[in-house]
Chains A and B, each alone.
Chain A
Amino acid sequence: MNSLKRPENRRNLLQTFWKGRLNKLKKLMTGNEAVAYGAYLSGVKVGAAYPGTPSTQIMENFATYPGVFAEWAPNEKVSMDVAIGAAFAGTRAMVSTKHVGLNVAADSLFYAVYTGINAGLLICCADDPGMHSSQNEQDNRNYAKFAKLPMLEPADSEEAKQFAGVALEMSETFDTPVIMRFVTRTSHSSSVVDYDPDQVPPPQEEPQPYKRNPQKHVMVPAFARGRHPVIEEKIKKLSEYADTSSLNRIEPGDDSIGIIAAGSVYNYAREVFPNATFLKLGMVYPLPKEKIRKLASMVKKVVVIEELDPFFEEQVSFMGVEVTGKSIFPVIGEFSPSLVRSCAEKAGLIEPEKKENETAASEAVGKAANLPIRPPILCPGCGHRGMFNVLRDAGVVVLGDIGCYTLGAAPPLNAMHFTGCMGASIGVAHGVTKGNTTDRSVAVLGDSTFFHSGLHPVIDVLYNKGTTTTIIADNSTTGMTGHQEHPGTGLTLQREPAVTVDIEKTVRGFGYEKVDVCNPYDMDNFRKVLEDHLESGQPSVIIVKKPCVLQTKEKHTPPRIDPELCTDCGTCLDVGCSPLVQEDGYVSIDPLLCNGCGLCVQVCPMEAIIQE
């Protein structure tokens, strides 16, 4: 304060203030962009993540700000440890992950709650209700209760930006990591954010000696026992904080109904119940008990509207407050304003809206439901297609993994028979060979997935006398999430040259003797190599290498089909490439969609597909 007594300092401060006001702009940002911006402005200097829809763009955006270090870690657990380390060293840090990534990082999350941190640690975690791009729709709010740490949930991008600062303050005040929960509709929704191009984060503090505190940071049983009571006490204090914080607010309305909601669901509910009383939660764990009781005293009926699990409802009910929720709104799937309205109408919470032409409309909806479906498929020119074509013809059981190549499971390829989670392919394939089956099998996973969690099971096969052939579909990028770098690409997230971890040398280094590298478009050769590996009875690795054509923009002249030579046998259609179209009595190629990869030329038994 003393420095402000000097007039020139006061003037500078005022100038800075007004400059900020005048330059304040409105900018559309997704929730992912906004939380990255908020974290940057709040002085986060270290960020780590593994890509995963819908969270990917959080770290991609954070990486673009000046003066920050951001990395793609090989997996979410590593990213969590890196951010925890930075926070131990006194620097504000951030992790971002999709919901299932937090499963991978959970071990680290749980110890960090016990150890606490020395600077703010923000964990951004994006759930995917409705499974737009995920293998399950787990509700990660449960992690807050399970691991005993606070969780915030923004409803739009401005909140995502502001909550970043609040979360980091909270993290330091309560000496705990803080999770900010997103869902697809907050991560990938854009809304208006106050943006000030002149605003910069506080400067980085001078480096300090590392704070050595074994009793707090070395979690051997004797020390960990001392930490558990501290955590329980902390959650009590956070619960009190939740009641005083403006993150949770009562929005008074009429007294017939009081709605408890958070995040994107709050927005849907606001549109369906414009006049109701609301308790809008910005902090979703621990809950503000006094505010919940106050809401109950203001209204005739308390209703919880929440996507997925009855996370609020069970806690509110446990408090002895009469509440309804999951008897009206489903546990399964993504919510929308339409879904909230139809459930509320059915339960008699609101008057049904008048609808015109209801019979015609429902007939049209029925017809639309019968239109041919359009599932996602491998892109034209994708290297995975040649590989799966050979695997299907070989009749092997394919234990697959998570990535673009999971689309090999779709018809007409039908060439993948298991996908569970990141890195599961190799261990499951090893288990299948140790089990009791007559079928031959292989594991298939991508290069990025191999670095994520394929290293350990590939060692297990070798060590425990397995015979599994592991096929690494190497497209030299993290494809499905939109082309992120990884340890094998030679570039970091911040586009700096890096060591390229060579997959072939890595597996040879582990002790694999049978290793081959193949081009998926040379199907004859890949077929030979595959048979050789399967018959060898040895543990082996085949690296099927073809850089993603979406990324390299590799494109060739589309071939054409001579309708005179085409006998309409359907062999080319079985490679499942979208430019190939069944016409009346022959097949044609849409040159606008075709990549010119030539795979169909190779498979046509009539030589009717001509590459010019």
Chain B
Amino acid sequence: MKKFDFLMAGVGGQGTILASNILAAAGVEFGYDVKTAEVHGMAQRGGSVESHVRWGEKVYSPLVEQGKADFVIGFETLEAGRWPMYLNKDTVILVNDYRIPPPPVNLGKATYPTKKEIEAILTSSGSKIIWINATGIAKDMGNPAMVGVVLLGALSVYLGGTEEQWLSLIERLVPAKFAEMNKKAFVAGRAEKSA
């Protein structure tokens, strides 16, 4: 059985925890042993956050080991750039092409890195980077907060499972009144990657 190690990086409040919950549930649905790790509390107040999700035949550690991530999902451009230590030549990196300047940049004390600089950091191990306009798509689908679901849609292309399976997971895990909107966002993300 293949293993899949996922690392999600974003800004506290962007919805990495919901996305990792859906991804974890998908792993169980597809017959894997699954573990996740995330942080709550102070780390969620607009700071850097990272969630780990692991699928495998038998998973011990909830934390992904450095150099062994199969997928890195960046919810925000700069945050994606922080994790080169998790990459190897086969890692697939999906990055939301969206910038939330951190406080030092807002204050003019640091410069937000260019796309090229982030690419240079993330491709040094030979891995591929795929840019996705996830915030834009989420906004078009009704709410920019659905960025995680759009990214999951794009990621799902690599992971097997039918579109129906994924959509039923979203229906189960997203509050009922937002389910339809999120399903549309997922499909749009999936189409973006398939195209």
Chain A residues within CB distance 8 Å of chain B = 26, 28, 53-54, 56, 132-133, 156, 184-185, 188-192, 264, 266-268, 270-271, 336-338, 341, 353, 355-357, 360-361, 363-365, 367-368, 371-379, 404, 406-407, 410-412, 480-482, 570, 573, 576, 578, 580-582, 590, 592-593
* Distance in angstroms between the alpha carbons of A373 and B110 in the assembled complex: 9
B57: Cβ under 8 A from any A Cβ: no
The 10 lowest CB-CB distance pairs between A and B, nearest first, are A133-B41, A53-B41, A376-B47, A374-B102, A189-B62, A372-B110, A364-B124, A364-B84, A376-B45, A582-B108
B42: Cβ under 8 A from any A Cβ: yes
B42 and A190 contacting across the interface, CB-CB below 8 Å: no
Within 8 A of A (CB), among B108-125: 108, 110-113, 117, 120-122, 124-125
Which residue from chain B places its CB closest to the CB of A265 in the assembled complex?
A: B61
B106 and A573 contacting across the interface, CB-CB below 8 Å: yes
B85: Cβ under 8 A from any A Cβ: yes
Task: Pick the contact of B39: A156, A184, A364, A410 (CB < 8 A).
Answer: A184
B46 and A377 contacting across the interface, CB-CB below 8 Å: yes
Task: Pick the contact of B46: A376, A480, A582 (CB < 8 A).
Answer: A376
Task: Pick the contact of B40: A53, A378, A411, A593 (CB < 8 A).
Answer: A53
Which residue from chain A places its CB closest to the CB of B111 in the assembled complex?
A: A372
Write out, one digit per residue, whether chain B residues 69-108 have a CB within 8 A of any chain A CB (1) or not (0).
0000000001101111101110000000000111111111
B45 and A372 contacting across the interface, CB-CB below 8 Å: no
A190 and B48 contacting across the interface, CB-CB below 8 Å: no
A356 and B121 contacting across the interface, CB-CB below 8 Å: no
Q: Which residues of B contact A357 (CB under 8 A)?
A: 89, 124-126
* Distance in angstroms between the alpha carbons of A576 and B103 in the assembled complex: 7
Q: Which residues of A contact B48 (CB under 8 A)?
A: 373-374
Q: Which of A267, A356, A371, A411 has the most CB of B within 10 A?
A: A371
Within 8 A of A (CB), among B26-76: 28, 33-48, 59-63, 65-67
Task: Pick the contact of B28: A28, A133, A184, A336 (CB < 8 A).
Answer: A28
What are 22 A-B contacts defined by CB distance under 8 Å? A53-B40, A53-B42, A54-B40, A132-B39, A132-B43, A189-B62, A191-B59, A268-B61, A336-B66, A337-B61, A355-B67, A356-B88, A361-B125, A364-B120, A365-B85, A376-B42, A378-B45, A407-B45, A480-B45, A580-B106, A582-B107, A592-B144
B144 and A480 contacting across the interface, CB-CB below 8 Å: no
* Distance in angstroms between the alpha carbons of A371 and B134 in the assembled complex: 22
A192 and B62 contacting across the interface, CB-CB below 8 Å: no
B79 and A185 contacting across the interface, CB-CB below 8 Å: no
* Distance in angstroms between the alpha carbons of A373 and B21 in the assembled complex: 26
B25: Cβ under 8 A from any A Cβ: yes
B7: Cβ under 8 A from any A Cβ: no
Task: Pick the contact of B63: A337, A364, A375 (CB < 8 A).
Answer: A337
* Distance in angstroms between the alpha carbons of A40 and B37 in the assembled complex: 24
B12: Cβ under 8 A from any A Cβ: yes
Q: How far is the CB of A184 from chain B (nearest CB, A)?
A: 7
Q: Which residues of A contact B45 (CB under 8 A)?
A: 376-379, 404, 407, 480
* Distance in angstroms between the alpha carbons of A355 and B84 in the assembled complex: 14
A133 and B38 contacting across the interface, CB-CB below 8 Å: no
Task: Pick the contact of A336: B65, B81, B101, B105 (CB < 8 A).
Answer: B65
Q: How far is the CB of A310 from chain B (nearest CB, A)?
A: 22
* Distance in angstroms between the alpha carbons of A592 and B144 in the assembled complex: 8
A192 and B34 contacting across the interface, CB-CB below 8 Å: yes
A371 and B81 contacting across the interface, CB-CB below 8 Å: yes
B34 and A363 contacting across the interface, CB-CB below 8 Å: no
Q: How far is the CB of A317 from chain B (nearest CB, A)?
A: 27
Q: Which residues of B contact A54 (CB under 8 A)?
A: 39-41
B107 and A374 contacting across the interface, CB-CB below 8 Å: no
Q: Which residues of B contact A360 (CB under 8 A)?
A: 124-125
* Distance in angstroms between the alpha carbons of A582 and B89 in the assembled complex: 36
Q: Which of A357, A375, A593 has the most CB of B within 10 A?
A: A375
A188 and B37 contacting across the interface, CB-CB below 8 Å: yes
A379 and B46 contacting across the interface, CB-CB below 8 Å: yes
A267 and B41 contacting across the interface, CB-CB below 8 Å: no
A191 and B41 contacting across the interface, CB-CB below 8 Å: no
Q: How far is the CB of B86 from chain A (nearest CB, A)?
A: 9
B146: Cβ under 8 A from any A Cβ: no
B24: Cβ under 8 A from any A Cβ: yes
* Distance in angstroms between the alpha carbons of A480 and B78 in the assembled complex: 25
* Distance in angstroms between the alpha carbons of A406 and B84 in the assembled complex: 31
A578 and B67 contacting across the interface, CB-CB below 8 Å: no
* Distance in angstroms between the alpha carbons of A581 and B84 in the assembled complex: 27
B137: Cβ under 8 A from any A Cβ: no
A480 and B41 contacting across the interface, CB-CB below 8 Å: yes
B63 and A185 contacting across the interface, CB-CB below 8 Å: yes
Q: Which residues of B contact A578 (CB under 8 A)?
A: 46, 100-101, 103, 106
Task: Pick the contact of A582: B37, B105, B120 (CB < 8 A).
Answer: B105
Q: How far is the CB of A32 from chain B (nearest CB, A)?
A: 10
A367 and B120 contacting across the interface, CB-CB below 8 Å: yes
B84 and A192 contacting across the interface, CB-CB below 8 Å: no
Q: Which residues of B contact A367 (CB under 8 A)?
A: 84, 117, 120-121
**A271-B34 contact given A133-B39, A357-B124, A410-B103, CB 8 Å threshold:** no
* Distance in angstroms between the alpha carbons of A570 and B60 in the assembled complex: 50
A372 and B34 contacting across the interface, CB-CB below 8 Å: no
Q: Which residues of A contact B89 (CB under 8 A)?
A: 356-357
B120 and A412 contacting across the interface, CB-CB below 8 Å: no
**A28-B144 contact given A54-B41, A267-B60, A411-B107, CB 8 Å threshold:** no
* Distance in angstroms between the alpha carbons of A412 and B45 in the assembled complex: 16
Q: How far is the CB of A589 from chain B (nearest CB, A)?
A: 11
Q: Which residues of B contact A338 (CB under 8 A)?
A: 63, 65-67, 85
Which residue from chain A places its CB closest to the CB of B85 in the assembled complex?
A: A365
Which residue from chain B places its CB closest to the CB of A188 in the assembled complex?
A: B38
